[in-house]
Structure 1
Amino acid sequence: MEKAEEWLNYGVELAKEFGPKVLTALLIFIVGLWVIKRIIGGTKKVMYNSKYDESLQRFLLSLVSWILKIFLILLVIGQLGINITTFAAVIAAAGLAVGLALQGSLSNFAGGVLIMIFKPYKIGDLIEAQGVLGSVKEIEIFTTKLITPQNKLAIVPNGAMANGNIINYTAEGKMRVDTTIGIGYGEDIKKAKKVLLEVLEANPQVLKDPAPSVNVSELADSSVNFAVRPFCAPEDYWSVYFATLENCKLALDKAGIEIPYPHQVEIHKKE
């Protein structure tokens, strides 16, 4: 019984000594998160009104948020009575090991900074990098998120993005759609070329400048192949691609121009 009372008294003494510190630290943490949220919200409005690049906005807001949260954690630790100087010394002593363990993350962070500086792409651009084709959804501190044509989310490390090859299909505002259409050797090449060109010119999604082109690209084994190349806006690529194939086939059929295909010849044996 006496021992239980001793433990109870000891608990009361601890509560008196550390309770106010813990409550104050908790209050600082809650208020701090609220203040950080307000700061990020205000900064976001300032950036929006100043017409900052959307990619840069998200990157800087994410970076500022992390810095403020780290500062808040240090403030809470200090309020709990832990010596921040000692705590910092421990962090510094472990810095080398942590740095080695996080080499990839540091490389990705540096890559994110380089992407923000040189801007090889921005949010909304259609790019191809690291074997992935997709539209840029977000550029974060460590990674870039892409939405593929199959509507899949691809997350690519910024370190790899900054150090690898990047094809930006949106940067110039125009894309060339490459298709190949073949006709039979016995058909009129000039007539077929005119029909194909009219198909391209009739499509409102095909750009006038640069003008679409139709040229003989190959004399194949069973066909004369045309390189049919319209230009369009990047977001119209697939619709123009599919429309070109379908409409060219329909137009050639209407003009009586044969598109070669393998023929099967039946051989009848005499009994």
Structure 2
Amino acid sequence: MNMEKLIEGLLNLATDLAIKIVTCLVVFVIGNYLIKRVVRMLDKSRLMKETEGTVRTFTASFIKIAMYVILAIIIVNIMGVPMASVITVLASAGVAVGMAMQGALGNIASGIVLMLFKPFKLGDYVSIGSVEGTVRELNLFYTVFVTVDNRRVTVPNSTMMNANIIDVSAEENRRVDLYFTCDRLEDQVLVTQLLTEEVEKTEKMLKEPAPFVSLDGITDTTLKFVVKVWCRNVDYWDVYYDLLTRITAQLEANEISIPSMRVSSLDQPRIRQ
């Protein structure tokens, strides 16, 4: 008799557990489907489309994680685990996980700061330390870049917060600075004239601020000249290579001795977009 009651109790327990497991699976499948659908609807919503890119991706990541947390709590509740016990366990685990995941929590905090202060936006070409590329995504933990040779680079948000961020795309206009060095015995007036003539032929150059050509320095063996030309940001590399090619060819055509040549930009790092 006792054995029959034991078997009956075990069967009832197994049946109850099986029902809960099946229910949890159904809830998970439906919940997972609804979460993905909600995320897609948010991405297509007018509000999200009008939101700045970094804020949009960060908000979508936060909402997605929050919905999965709620789904997990619902499943635990279906299994019959008392919520008081769940809260106690989560509080204890939260302390331990928080200590073990200080870096991850720091990334989240940094991501929130980046989203609020917006030192860059999606689509900007950004340089940070040894990494440079176009910003494709800002989520809870990482910022994703795509380099000019199509490599995907993932940088922790905390790293972004602790580094100097150079946003090459932030301003509408940029300045191209070229430095040319020639032999000390060359005619500096002639060299300046040749440089000025080539600068004036530059089609994509801005008239204001006016271009600048001048002798920039003298050593025992060389003369150093500087050329500064403003252009639209999107035309930077067209102007850069156009001036470099034409000026070099002009100096060579006039038999100007060029012992060495250095090209750089004072305003921006030498970054290729």
Give the match's secondary structure for 2:221. coil
> Which shows bigger deviation, 184-193 or 29-38?
184-193
1:47–1:57 Cα contact (<8 Å) kept: no
2:186–2:257 Cα contact (<8 Å) kept: no
| 1:132–1:233 CA distance, 2 compared to 1 (3 A) | farther
**Percent identity between the aligned chains?**
31
Give the Cα separation in 2 of the matches to 1:137 and 1:201: 38
Per the TM alignment, residue 71 of structure 1 is displaced from its structure 2 partner at its CA by: 0.7
Give the Cα separation in 1 of the matches to 2:171 and 2:76: 51
Equivalent runs, 1:1-271 vs 2, <5 Å: 13-47=12-46, 51-254=50-253, 256-261=254-259
Residues 59-94 of structure 1 show CA distances to partners (whole Å, capped at 9, x for unaligned) of 100110110111111111211222233122101012
1:183–1:257 Cα contact (<8 Å) kept: no
Aligned residue type for 1:171:
A
1:21–1:79 Cα contact (<8 Å) kept: yes
Give the Cα separation in 1 of the matches to 2:55 and 2:257: 51
> Which shows bigger deviation, 233-242 or 76-85?
233-242
Aligned residue type for 1:43:
L
Aligned residue type for 1:261:
P
Aligned residue type for 1:19:
A
Give the Cα separation in 2 of the matches to 1:43 and 1:235: 32
Aligned residue type for 1:90:
V
| 1:80–1:202 CA distance, 2 compared to 1 (3 A) | farther
| 1:204–1:137 CA distance, 2 compared to 1 (3 A) | farther
Aligned residue type for 1:258:
I
Q: Which residue in the other structure is 1:269 paired with? A: none
Residues 204-247 of structure 1 show CA distances to partners (whole Å, capped at 9, x for unaligned) of 34333333322211113432111122233444444433333222
Give the match's secondary structure for 1:251. helix
Give the Cα separation in 2 of the matches to 1:23 and 1:78: 14
Unpaired stretches in structure 2, ≥5 consecutive residues: 1-5, 261-273
| 1:223–1:8 CA distance, 2 compared to 1 (3 A) | farther
Give the Cα separation in 1 of the matches to 2:10 and 2:180: 86
Give the match's secondary structure for 2:227. strand
Per the TM alignment, residue 158 of structure 1 is displaced from its structure 2 partner at its CA by: 1.1
Count how many residue pairs are aligned between Structure 1 and Structure 2.
258
TM-score by length of 2: 0.82
After superposing on structure 2, the runs of 4+ consecutive aligned residues of structure 1 that deviate more than 6 Å are 7-11
> Which shows bigger deviation, 219-228 or 72-81?
219-228
What is the CA RMSD across the aligned residues, in angstroms? 2.9
Give the Cα separation in 2 of the matches to 1:76 and 1:156: 34
| 1:151–1:208 CA distance, 2 compared to 1 (3 A) | farther
